[in-house]
Structure 1
Amino acid sequence: MECDRLRGLMGFPVDYEMGHALHTHGPCRGEALFNATKDYVVKIVCKNAASEECGFFNGFFYHDTEPYIITTAHIIGFEGASQYLMMLFDGTRLSEEYAMEVVKCNFALDVAVFRCVTRLPHPPSSKAAVVGISHMVLAVGHSDAQLTFNEGKVTHLSFDGTFSVSTYADAVFSGAPIFNMDGYFVGMVKSGEGTYIKQPVCVGATKIHNALVSEPHPLPGLH
């Protein structure tokens, strides 16, 4: 499109695969948001009955006082998984593994809640917001042993409370939180396991929160 070509000439990066220009807040803004939100994110390791690793996911803290961790529901039983452990990243390396237990699961929404058995210090719940078409967002998650972030643009909103983002999500980005450019939590990467996806599907923050406070077994301390 002519307008996209002109925006490219003006210095805006153009995503030729998607066919449109992307607005950017600059690397400094993205890095600042990453530093402000990275402590929410944990790396999750799945192990089978023989204690062999069989999958890696992301998750994030979502409670002011209890070590509740939100991630995708398809982690449960993934490739024969029966043990779920989490690790923190201190900026240079991953911590030791801490055992988690399942608290609540919604397979239809693909959202699960775990609780770390060890009461680790963690940041309070992030403020949440809703997204709109063309909003810029930030996905924060572990790729292999490195905690990283990818910026993207909301390209589609669904009536079921999910949305799509024009960014790459690698094979272990499922469960990674999504933040808007003001640092508010807006959703979680739902798909991404097993491939590189140009437009990962994300579950919106409102849908996640409503699932957590609904019956049966609503999480205490959430409103």
Structure 2
Amino acid sequence: MKLLAKTVTVLNSAAILRSLAALIALGATHGAFALDPVTIYQRSSPAVAVIEAPNGKSFNRGSGFILSSKGFILTNQHIVGNNRQVRIKLADGSVYQGTVVSRNPNVDLAMIQIQPQKPLPSLRIQAVPPQIGQKVYAIGNPSSKATGMLDRSLSDGIVSRIDESGLIQFTASVTFGSSGGPLLNEDGYVVGIVRSGAPGTNFNFAVPVGAVNLLPGRRSTAGVQVQQINHYITVGLLQFRQNNFQKALQVFSAGIQQYPSDPTLYSNRGITRRFLRDHQGALKDFTRSIQLRPSSMAYFNQAVLYESDLKQPQQAIKDYSEAIRINQKWGSPITLGDAFYRRGRLQSQQGNKKAAIADFKQAAKVYSQFANRDRYRAAMDQITLITTQP
């Protein structure tokens, strides 16, 4: 686990676009809390919607998914067409009139807003490009003349190709009606928006979720800067995930040269430098990121550096403690389990058995909440090992 995906609360269409840009900037590597397919479906399907848009005497029917509990839904532009108003049916059977608040035909994405009576289930997104061969899941509303619409159907497959623009080719089965639905990784994060599919073939494609940054919002100077920063981050992360670390370093460095006060650029460059074994350079970047905006992930990555590379366990314990404190305050649990586990391991090595057991119990609790059986068992095994030692 090297990067962080962070959920946000939004209040209006301009705000969601700006917030999504910040969310996408952070990203996350896959496999941090790999879930089983049953858990992925149970958690994700309630946020998948049916979308109907007028098209002459008939309707375009497709899928979409909720990005915010306030009622923002992401889908394909080709589903909503030129309509301003569309019909939205949620998983609980409720029906809303949705307003298309932003669209970009060039990337085939559109944002819809509804006015729900209560907070809605929503999905979290991750802009770190998936790897070729990585497991993915698609949830959508496929339909045919024989079967009609099959609401919220799950299919699985792998990523088979990613082109230079980031377009994701995958093998999970999709068909008419699936467009606009989420493509999820093993952690349950959205990595793409299903765009098209050829039934019975592997020629299925999804728009990378980072393309959400290209939806037009409020065209302020700050908004343009956010979009440019996220361009550096998205391109850098794509190079990083393809193990092109030197190219990733060049991209992040170029971004920092233009935007020297952005903490996420420093954090991502620090991660890249660590993979290149430039430990002092990585430490400088993590430290600068923390100076600009103290975050759980910056402290976590700095702690890993101190623990694994610089061999300074006491400083690592301090940084894991800061990561835990901020995580609990911000309610971002993605790194919380590993922070407790790693701190517990260091506490055990330092002979602090009581503190170590407390940390492993907290780690087990977090892993249990995320249905990560392997990590949960590892934490419980550590407790058993400590308590049985003389």
* TM-score greater than 0.5 by the shorter chain: yes
Q: Tell me the C-alpha RMSD between the 2 structures.
A: 2.6
What's the offset of the Cα at 1:123? Answer: 2.5
More strand by share: 1
Q: State the distance in 2 between where 1:157 and 1:114 align.
A: 27
What's the offset of the Cα at 1:38? Answer: 1.0
**Contact 2:65 2:182 survives alignment (8 Å):** yes
What's the offset of the Cα at 1:121? Answer: 2.2
Say which structure, 1 or 2, has more relative contact order (CA 8 Å, 6+ apart): 1
* Structure-1 residue corresponding to 2:113: 115
Q: 2:53 aligns with which of 24, 32, 46?
A: 46
| 2:206 is aligned with 1:202 | yes
What's the offset of the Cα at 1:174? Answer: 0.4
* Structure-1 residue corresponding to 2:89: 87
**Contact 1:42 1:87 survives alignment (8 Å):** yes
What's the offset of the Cα at 1:117? Answer: 3.7
Cα distance 1:168–1:125, how it changes in 2: closer, same or farther (>3 A)?
closer
Q: 1:31 aligns with which of 29, 32, 38?
A: 38
Q: State the distance in 2 between where 1:66 and 1:99 align.
A: 14
Q: State the distance in 1 between where 2:77 and 2:154 align.
A: 22
| 2:184 is aligned with 1:179 | yes
* Structure-2 residue corresponding to 1:211: 214
Q: Structure 1: state its 5+ residue gaps.
A: 1-27
Cα distance 1:74–1:127, how it changes in 2: closer, same or farther (>3 A)?
closer
* Structure-2 residue corresponding to 1:142: 141
Q: What SS does the corresponding residue of 2:112 show, helix, strand or coil? A: strand
Q: State the distance in 2 between where 1:197 and 1:110 align.
A: 23
Q: What SS does the corresponding residue of 1:169 show, helix, strand or coil? A: coil
Q: Deviations over 1:78-130 (max 9, x none)?
A: 7xx6641111123xxxx142100111101000000010144552134514142
* Structure-2 residue corresponding to 1:72: 76
* Structure-1 residue corresponding to 2:375: none
Q: What SS does the corresponding residue of 1:62 show, helix, strand or coil? A: strand
Q: State the distance in 2 between where 1:70 and 1:54 align.
A: 18
**Contact 2:161 2:169 survives alignment (8 Å):** yes
Q: Percent identity?
A: 24
What's the offset of the Cα at 1:47? Answer: 2.7
Q: Structure 2: state its 5+ residue gaps.
A: 1-34, 143-148, 224-229, 231-390
Q: Give matches, 1:1-16, under 5 Å.
A: none
Q: What SS does the corresponding residue of 2:129 show, helix, strand or coil? A: coil
Q: State the distance in 2 between where 1:114 and 1:214 align.
A: 13
Which residue identity is paired with 1:43?
V
Cα distance 1:112–1:200, how it changes in 2: closer, same or farther (>3 A)?
same
Residues matched between the structures, number: 180
* Structure-1 residue corresponding to 2:168: 163
* Structure-2 residue corresponding to 1:100: 98
Name which one, 1 or 2, has greater alpha-carbon Rg: 2
**Contact 1:175 1:189 survives alignment (8 Å):** yes
More helix by share: 2
Q: State the distance in 2 between where 1:170 and 1:75 align.
A: 14
Give me the TM-score of the superposition, normalised by structure 1: 0.71
**Contact 1:44 1:86 survives alignment (8 Å):** yes
Cα distance 1:167–1:212, how it changes in 2: closer, same or farther (>3 A)?
same
